[in-house]
Amino acid sequence: MISALQKERLKYCPKLPGMLRNGIAEISLQEGEKTESVADQEKIAALFPNTYGEREVIFVKGQNTSVPKKQVVGVILSGGQAPGGHNVVCGLYDALKATDPENVLIGFKGGPSGLLDDKYIIFDDEYIDRFRNTGGFDIIGSGRTKLETKEQFAVAAEVCKKHGITAIVIIGGDDSNTNAAVLAEYFAAEGTGVQVIGCPKTIDGDLKNDDIECSFGFDTATKTYSELIGNIERDCNSAKKYWHFIKVMGRSASHVALECALQTQPNICLVGEEVAAKKMSLSEIADYIADAVEKRAEKGMNFGVAIIPEGIVEFVPEFKVLIAEINELLAGSKADAFNALATWPEKYAFIEQGLTKESMAVFAILPESIQQQLFLERDPHGNVQVSLIESEKLFAAMVKAKLAERKKAGTYKGKFSTQHHFFGYEGRCAFPSNFDADYCYSLGYNAFMLIQYGCNGYLSKVSNLKAPAEEWVAGGMPITKMMNMERRHGEDKPVIRKALVELDGKPFKYFEEHRAVWAEETSYLYPGAIQYFGPSEVCDQPTKTLALEKG
């Protein structure tokens, strides 16, 4: 059984860029300028001698000059889910079949491991049609296996040879597309003839540059979270008795938090990149929130909403040092000694002896529940899993302590009761918005055109996204253009540079200009649910971030 909404969404025909609406025979490739990496050009060029420095390309109206051949394409969904992933696969399938009905699309199950283990499905019309315009990655499943070793590449090459595969499309985020670039270089160096194309996916919004205007899924996820935040704001303004602390996804960048703030106008929104730039301490952040609470209380408003990015604590300089010291404190056999201690007081004494005076001072001001979370399950490298820290509860508790001090001093007379929320998985598999349904379908369709023209190590690129879909520009960008060298696990590695919130960018500047009013007044916006049917200005609008950046 499927819902009435899904039945209607299955009928939706995604909009393509005008140039891709021409018949396949009338899509021509136009080359642009040669590219170079965003940084560390010599090192990146040396690591990618066969795929570095290629030209950007766009598709224009004209004679298709690609060499006709049967294409057998493999597709992989990699990393966390993002709304619209199914439409990338559907767009890829439709372009492949429109070019030649004999072409084949193979879906590798469970992410990159499906390619290594040769677990796959061959798509047909009946199977594909069940997943059009739906959320999730359940069409073939996803996984987080990294394709990064020569042994893995050799296995991948053998699987491709077995099936006669001519190209692989990897749908993923920055790490997945870094792996795509390395795999493309290996296939080129070994003369396999297999091309690799990437598609930019992540709800975090941190896979972008001047060419990749946004990653898919960001639009739907932020609209889903903003609906929930708007609902909470409405409840907040109705009951008038709670401060709601809401954590949203985004560990390495604060794009999701900022976009939700632009859509809902909460009283407080923390932006990690600003916290890092101003070198704000935990205490200073708590004081900043407490100031807003106090000013609203003076006006009889003992309620409010604060949005907290998932990775906020990693932007706090003193907390980064604390995390590094804890990682060192529990390195190797010392972790066994710590875990052997029976009680928290014993463990606390162990911690007190192992941390510097400065880091212990930071640790001591944390609520006990947060202190203990820092010593929970480690990641595969033995490090603190910062994403497990309930930062929404951390700041609520610290603000409460600040207000208690002010009440004791006679400067604060309000009430402060809190509710806590974390919005993450709620947005990753939502029915894609019309924007994401169109954008993702275009990315997939465009990816096949890149394959048809022989591109390797490219990202499928669709730009001019603020305009109607008819005016979108389809093309491709070498993945190496987004890369730099970073220190990973003790080694210098080529990786796609994450795009952080730009503090001089238009979205943050707009937020900065208005947040003082939002903090003191009740200026809430209630976006409501994503709309799929109705006027274009309601159903097809891009995110506030994209509108401001390209406005």
The residues annotated with a catalytic role in the active site are: 204
**Sign (positive or negative) of CA dihedral 128, 132, 136, 137:** positive
Q: Between helices 506-520 and 255-264, what is the axis angle to 10°?
A: 50
Q: Between helices 434-452 and 85-99, what is the axis angle to 10°?
A: 40
DSSP 105-148: EEEETTTHHHHHHT-EEE--HHHHHTSTT--SSTTT--B-----
Answer whether 234's CB lies under 8 Å from 526's CB: yes
Answer whether 91's CB lies under 8 Å from 442's CB: yes
Beta bridge partner(s), residue 378: 384
Distance between CA atoms of 312 and 253, rounded to whole angstroms?
A: 9
Please report which residue ranges of 310-452 form alpha helices under DSSP H: 317-329, 334-339, 344-354, 357-364, 368-373, 391-409, 425-428, 434-452
Non-local CB neighbours of 337 within 8 Å, separated by 6+ positions: 350
Q: Are strands 473-478 and 418-423 parallel, antiparallel or unpaired?
A: unpaired
Answer whether 475's CB lies under 8 Å from 484's CB: no
Residue with tokens 């057998």: 72
Q: Strand, helix or coil at 202?
A: coil
With CA atoms as reference, report the closest residue to 179 among 167, 171, 191, 190: 171
Amino acid present at 542: P
CB atoms near residue 320 (< 10 Å): 14
Longest dimension (CA), the chain: 80
Q: Strand, helix or coil at 236?
A: helix
**Sign (positive or negative) of CA dihedral 368, 370, 371, 375:** positive
Q: Are strands 483-488 and 491-496 parallel, antiparallel or unpaired?
A: antiparallel
Structure tokens at 91: 């767009």
Non-local CB neighbours of 340 within 8 Å, separated by 6+ positions: none
The HSE-up count of residue 57 (CA atoms within 13 Å, CB side) is 24
Answer whether 476's CB lies under 8 Å from 450's CB: yes
Q: What Cα–Cα distance (Å) separates residue 192 from each residue in 70, 122, 187, 211?
A: 16, 22, 5, 29
